[in-house]
Structure 1
Amino acid sequence: MSMIELSGLKELIESISRDRNLPRSAVQAAIREALLKGYERYRRAQNLERKQFDEEYFDNCDVQLDIEDEGFRVVATKTIVETVENSDHEISLEQVKDMGGEGAELGQEVVLDVTPSKKEEFGRMAAMQTKQVLAQKLRDQQRQMVQEEFQDLESSVLQARVLRFERQSVILAVSSNFGQPEVEAELPKREQLPNDNYRANATFKVYLKKVSQGQQRGPQLLVSRADAGLVVYLFANEVPEIEDEVVRIVAVAREANPPSRYVGPRTKIAVDTLDRDVDPVGACIGARGSRIQVVVNELRGEKIDVIRWSPDPATYIANALSPARVDEVRLMDPESRQTHVLVAEDQLSLAIGKEGQNVRLAARLTGWKIDIKDKVKYDREGEDTKFAAVRAQQSVEAYDAEEEYEEEEYEEEELGEAELEAQELKELEPMSEYEEDMEDLEDMDDEDAEEEAEENFDSSKRK
């Protein structure tokens, strides 16, 4: 079988495999596919018979690489037929026997060497096409491998190292921890922490938010330092009771990038336990704050409030507003989840927090709309009256909406019955002579209609 020489093929495969972190088999597959595209381009250029080549025309062709001798050949699978109509896909039984296939039969398939005889011309054109296609195929191979490697690691935490900066994003090197080489990940501006120092080769723990698919440019992995999942992981890693499922994290509310630069990042985390002998808050904080300090250091000084979850909404809301002391929690409208929290005057600013951060995080954590009120100035009767009026109005609106819905259903039902009754009456009504004649004409075919028309015309003339 003939072969086209590719000097340096072995070294090329090794270097691409090393530089792009791809296995040699993947590189060889990409080279074969690129060379096959080169062969297709050559055949289309040499199409003297003006054949129509569709996208699937060359599916029976393949490229065989000879790594040791550094070359390749093109082969095609052809069907043995009695009369050849397409020489690219078929071969006669006589030709097969002339090539030594004595036991061949009609309908069988044979693999034949179809490497072009004009090797220099084909080699030059194939090399041009291969260079363009190979780069794209290698990118596709690399993206597919990254996707397969990290798909199951979404919503987990990885160790990352700073590589470079692109616009406002930080490009990091991350590893799947399975002995695989590092790949690039993007940390956008919105996912960064304001207190982080992203200098070259600095290491961070990052939360893998998404593994992108498709052919987009740039890193496939989107990571975050601002996601609440990172806080959950850090606590689970530092608190054995969480890992042993003695203590559970019920909810997390995090504001890693506050709307104002005068407010620092802050997190509230609600924990609970079914073991009466375990203090879930104390377990997370640790002796003299040792456990929570590790988390705070990883998050570069972010303020973290650990509070006790409670099935009672009032108790839960009061805990969530820590460190402020709450005197009373009034659940004004449980349906719309609105509550008034009464505190002393000296606790107002603490409960609200700087630029409303404390109450904002407590609302996210509990799922209730929280209004902080001064206990002394609070008008209990007035607020009760206002909410009673609101609830009454909501009841009226709900009743009106239900009545309107029932009326619409009744009208549609009546309309349906009326249409059905009209249709039945129409079918029972006697037809006029004109309608009968028109119906009879519609039932006739064209020839019968013409004969009927001629007879009517003749009879009218005789009259």
Structure 2
Amino acid sequence: MALVLLPGLSNLIEDISEEKKLPPQVVEAALREALLKGYERYRRTLYLGVGEDPFDEEYFSNFDVALDLDEEGYRVLASKIIVDEVESEDHQIALAEVMQVADDAQSGDTVVLDVTPEKEDFGRMAAATTKQVLAQKLRDQQRRMIQEEFADLEDPVLTARVIRFERQSVIMAVSSGLGRPEVEAELPRRDQLPNDNYRANATFKVFLKEVSEVPRRGPQLFVSRANAGLVVYLFENEVPEIQEGSVRIVAVAREANPPSRSVGPRTKVAVDSIEREVDPVGACIGARGSRIQQVVNELRGEKIDVIRWSSDPGQYIANSLSPARVDVVRLVDPVGQHAHVLVPPDQLSLAIGREGQNVRLAARLTGWKIDIKNASEYDQASEDAVVAELIAQREQEEALQREAEERLAAEQAARAEEDARLRELYPLPEDEEEYGDETAEDVVMSEGEAADTSEVTPESSESAEDGAR
């Protein structure tokens, strides 16, 4: 068969490669696969209205497409096995036929033949299939390359540029590194900052939140401006002591999108020093607040509290409520991580924060349930009684949970024992293989003989009945 010409094939591959940001060899592979699918469709259409389609899923596995970029065309090739008697013309070829052109041919050898159909025979349906498959394969390759490129990034924070808006999401262009092509990423509404101005071509630092593996029409990268990881990254880049390892960020609690518009975004960062002479809070704030101001500017004015971490839970909780002044921290239920914090009356609203934001962030930061109490009105005896009741209730719930788990474990053990017994009586096919030539009946009989080898005779049966009488 002659070469099927595709004028402008080389330019087509280059254009697709540039448009889709894919290597030329990837585009060539997708085109070959698409043409092969088109050939399959062409072969199947020959049976439309004539008979049943005889091809299964693996029928065309020995077919391939070869692209000729110099002459700008393609060929369909089939690998066929040489046999004495042909049963499938698409997979086999007669030895006598091959020996007409190759005297040394032998049965069992494989030959590659050109089976390209004429271009006018290829058909409109086959051409449409080729176009559809090519578009799908290119999308699949794009998704696969994006997953490989972004899934294992060491630095999850990227510089993003606003491209357009879709519903409530912002579509941004991001790149994994210098010289790498830009790809689209989606910034959902819940991951946006209320103070951001997402105008066209504006740039922002974003946190790579997810690389979707599910096929979808839109971007498969999801980025966030509200993720706590963005705060960690910004501090790491502004504070040399964090980069050197003398200061570490222990925990971050962030509320980038408060439930009410009257409350602004706020973050609490707990830091610790590896070296005694280094002040971790001062290092993060910087001279006259220069370092933390850079972070605040990138987050568009978000309030940030840098507090010192402590291994003492009471001290850590007191620090976490900054800027409020705390009198006493009572760890009323250390097991359940419940604390009462006593503050002066003039510090009560500051400790709680507007709509409870300050104490809410402190609780997230420390992992403790924190109750703010007025120190002048605190009745320790009554409060202890309430806490004791809560502890008793918690312990009762934990006991019920343990009982339920033990009951479930016992039921599972009983079912497993019953399954094992039934499997001995009625073995599965794989069990029969283990027994070799023995049948299940033989196994059961041998077990019964081991348990009771005595023979019951009519005389012994009558004696047993007389004894019973």
TM category (shorter chain) comes to 0.7 to 0.9
Task: Indicate if the aligned counterparts of 2:30 and 2:137 stay in contact, CA closer than 8 A.
Answer: yes
* Residues 366 and 402 of structure 1, relative CA distance in 2, 3 Å threshold: closer
Whole-Å Cα distance in 2 between the matches of residues 88 and 119 of structure 1?
Answer: 20
3-state SS of 2:122 partner: helix
Map 1:344-359 → 2, pairs under 5 A = 344-359=344-359
Q: Which residue of 2 aligns with 1:320?
A: 320
Task: Indicate if the aligned counterparts of 1:4 and 1:123 stay in contact, CA closer than 8 A.
Answer: no
Q: Which residue of 2 aligns with 1:141?
A: 141
Q: Which residue of 2 aligns with 1:66?
A: 68
Q: Which residue of 2 aligns with 1:366?
A: 366
Q: Which residue of 1 aligns with 2:22?
A: 22
3-state SS of 2:163 partner: strand
Whole-Å Cα distance in 1 between the matches of residues 406 and 76 of structure 2?
Answer: 74
How far the C-alpha of 1:127 sits from its partner, in A, is: 2.6
3-state SS of 1:58 partner: coil
Task: Indicate if the aligned counterparts of 1:154 and 1:210 stay in contact, CA closer than 8 A.
Answer: no
* Residues 329 and 33 of structure 1, relative CA distance in 2, 3 Å threshold: same
Q: Which residue of 2 aligns with 1:113?
A: 114
How far the C-alpha of 1:354 sits from its partner, in A, is: 0.5
What is the identity, as a one-letter code, of the residue corresponding to 1:382?
Answer: S
Q: Which residue of 2 aligns with 1:456?
A: none
Q: Structure 2-normalised TM-score?
A: 0.84
* Residues 55 and 412 of structure 1, relative CA distance in 2, 3 Å threshold: closer
* Residues 232 and 111 of structure 1, relative CA distance in 2, 3 Å threshold: same
Task: Indicate if the aligned counterparts of 2:42 and 2:123 stay in contact, CA closer than 8 A.
Answer: no
How far the C-alpha of 1:385 sits from its partner, in A, is: 3.0
Q: Which residue of 1 aligns with 2:78?
A: 76
Whole-Å Cα distance in 1 between the matches of residues 209 and 401 of structure 2?
Answer: 42
What is the identity, as a one-letter code, of the residue corresponding to 1:65?
Answer: L
Aligned length: 424
Q: Which residue of 2 aligns with 1:35?
A: 35
Whole-Å Cα distance in 2 between the matches of residues 14 and 164 of structure 1?
Answer: 27
Whole-Å Cα distance in 2 between the matches of residues 411 and 177 of structure 1?
Answer: 56
How far the C-alpha of 1:102 sits from its partner, in A, is: 2.1
What is the identity, as a one-letter code, of the residue corresponding to 2:232?
Answer: V
What is the identity, as a one-letter code, of the residue corresponding to 1:258?
Answer: P
Task: Indicate if the aligned counterparts of 1:154 and 1:208 stay in contact, CA closer than 8 A.
Answer: no
Map 1:270-349 → 2, pairs under 5 A = 270-349=270-349
3-state SS of 2:74 partner: strand
Whole-Å Cα distance in 2 between the matches of residues 282 and 29 of structure 1?
Answer: 57
Q: Which residue of 2 aligns with 1:52?
A: 54
Task: Indicate if the aligned counterparts of 1:267 and 1:302 stay in contact, CA closer than 8 A.
Answer: yes
Task: Indicate if the aligned counterparts of 2:305 and 2:322 stay in contact, CA closer than 8 A.
Answer: yes
Map 1:240-259 → 2, pairs under 5 A = 240-259=240-259
Q: Quick one: percent identity of the two aligned structures?
A: 66
How far the C-alpha of 1:137 sits from its partner, in A, is: 1.1
Q: Is 2:77 aligned against 1:86? A: no
Whole-Å Cα distance in 2 between the matches of residues 241 and 410 of structure 1?
Answer: 55
What is the identity, as a one-letter code, of the residue corresponding to 2:119?
Answer: K
Whole-Å Cα distance in 2 between the matches of residues 392 and 218 of structure 1?
Answer: 52
Q: Which residue of 1 aligns with 2:382?
A: 382
* Residues 413 and 235 of structure 1, relative CA distance in 2, 3 Å threshold: closer
Whole-Å Cα distance in 1 between the matches of residues 155 and 253 of structure 2?
Answer: 17
Q: Which residue of 2 aligns with 1:230?
A: 230
Q: Which residue of 1 aligns with 2:464?
A: none
Q: Which residue of 2 aligns with 1:131?
A: 131
1:77-103 per-position Cα deviation (integer Å, ceiling 9, x unaligned)? 0001110000000001111111x2222
Q: Is 2:262 aligned against 1:269? A: no
How far the C-alpha of 1:401 sits from its partner, in A, is: 7.8
Task: Indicate if the aligned counterparts of 1:78 and 1:91 stay in contact, CA closer than 8 A.
Answer: yes
Structure label with greater radius of gyration: 1
* Residues 222 and 403 of structure 1, relative CA distance in 2, 3 Å threshold: closer
How far the C-alpha of 1:104 sits from its partner, in A, is: 1.6
* Residues 131 and 375 of structure 1, relative CA distance in 2, 3 Å threshold: same
Compare 229-238 and 43-52 and name the one that shifted more.
Answer: 43-52
Q: Provide runs of 4+ in structure 1 moved above 6 Å.
A: 396-414, 430-433
Structure 2's unaligned 5+ residue stretches are 422-447, 462-469
Whole-Å Cα distance in 2 between the matches of residues 393 and 283 of structure 1?
Answer: 45
How far the C-alpha of 1:284 sits from its partner, in A, is: 0.4
The alignment's C-alpha RMSD in Å is: 3.0
How far the C-alpha of 1:318 sits from its partner, in A, is: 0.2
1:241-286 per-position Cα deviation (integer Å, ceiling 9, x unaligned)? 1111110100000000000000000000000012111000000000
Task: Indicate if the aligned counterparts of 2:245 and 2:274 stay in contact, CA closer than 8 A.
Answer: no
Compare 122-131 and 249-258 and name the one that shifted more.
Answer: 122-131
Whole-Å Cα distance in 2 between the matches of residues 149 and 412 of structure 1?
Answer: 45
Task: Indicate if the aligned counterparts of 1:154 and 1:209 stay in contact, CA closer than 8 A.
Answer: no
* Residues 196 and 110 of structure 1, relative CA distance in 2, 3 Å threshold: same
3-state SS of 2:385 partner: helix
* Residues 406 and 176 of structure 1, relative CA distance in 2, 3 Å threshold: closer
How far the C-alpha of 1:49 sits from its partner, in A, is: 7.7
3-state SS of 2:324 partner: coil
Task: Indicate if the aligned counterparts of 1:269 and 1:306 stay in contact, CA closer than 8 A.
Answer: yes
Task: Indicate if the aligned counterparts of 1:191 and 1:224 stay in contact, CA closer than 8 A.
Answer: yes
3-state SS of 1:59 partner: coil
Whole-Å Cα distance in 1 between the matches of residues 411 and 189 of structure 2?
Answer: 57
Q: Which residue of 2 aligns with 1:457?
A: none
How far the C-alpha of 1:402 sits from its partner, in A, is: 7.3
Whole-Å Cα distance in 2 between the matches of residues 84 and 258 of structure 1?
Answer: 75
Whole-Å Cα distance in 2 between the matches of residues 223 and 105 of structure 1?
Answer: 61
How far the C-alpha of 1:167 sits from its partner, in A, is: 0.3
3-state SS of 2:65 partner: strand
3-state SS of 1:34 partner: helix
What is the identity, as a one-letter code, of the residue corresponding to 1:111?
Answer: V
1:399-447 per-position Cα deviation (integer Å, ceiling 9, x unaligned)? 7887999999999999x9xxx9xxx9xx99x9999xx9xxxxxxxxxxx
3-state SS of 1:153 partner: coil
Whole-Å Cα distance in 2 between the matches of residues 356 and 169 of structure 1?
Answer: 29
Task: Indicate if the aligned counterparts of 2:174 and 2:183 stay in contact, CA closer than 8 A.
Answer: yes
Structure 1's unaligned 5+ residue stretches are 437-463
Whole-Å Cα distance in 2 between the matches of residues 199 and 400 of structure 1?
Answer: 56
1:367-391 per-position Cα deviation (integer Å, ceiling 9, x unaligned)? 0111111100000122123333444
3-state SS of 2:152 partner: helix
* Residues 431 and 323 of structure 1, relative CA distance in 2, 3 Å threshold: farther
Task: Indicate if the aligned counterparts of 2:317 and 2:366 stay in contact, CA closer than 8 A.
Answer: yes
